[in-house]
Copies of this chain bind each other. A is one copy, B any other.
Amino acid sequence: MVAPDQLSQTFAALADPTRRDILMRLRDGSRTVSDLAEHYPMSRPAISQHLTVLENAGLIARDRRAQWTDCSLAAASLDEAAAWIAQQRAEWNERFDLLDDYLAKRRLGAPEPIERDRGVSG
């Protein structure tokens, strides 16, 4: 009953391969529902429901024109998701930099084994 926060909705929407594929397909321009549904091994209602999830997550916009519904990308939520990940990684990398500093200084004195793999970015 409780509506999940925006960020959770966005990540949940991105957690489905079909929905991610729809987003990639929309990069080339807006498409109708039937146009999209052609490419997937499921019914049109199923695609319509996926589109609802993407719309609720703020990742696409629907624009109904006559019988057809144009689906196009909407950026805000994707930016928010990217920002969350970027911030997560940024503060994390920052912390590792501090740790490197700390170890560099400490290495001159007592050799204290702190095993932590820095696998973030090459």
A residues near B (Cβ < 8 Å) are 4-5, 7-9, 11-12, 14-17, 20, 23-24, 27-30, 72-76, 78-79, 81-95, 98-99, 102-103, 106-107, 110, 113-114, 116-117, 119-121
B90 and A113: CB pair below 8 A?
yes
Question: Are the CB atoms of B113 and A87 closer together than 8 Å?
Answer: yes
User: Known pairs A12-B15, A83-B102. 5 more at Cβ < 8 A?
Assistant: A7-B20, A11-B11, A11-B15, A29-B95, A73-B93
State which of B4, B23, B95 has its C-beta within 8 Å of the C-beta of A79.
B95
Q: Which of B5, B82, B114 contacts A99 (CB 8 A)?
A: B82
Pairwise interchain contact B93-A75, C-beta atoms closer than 8 A? yes
Complex contacts, A73 vs chain B, CB 8 Å: 92-93
**The residue from B7, B27, B85, B94 contacting A92, defined by CB atoms under 8 A apart:** B27
Q: Are A15 and B15 in contact (CB under 8 A)?
A: yes
Query: Once the chains bind, are A86 and B5 in contact (CB under 8 Å)?
Result: no
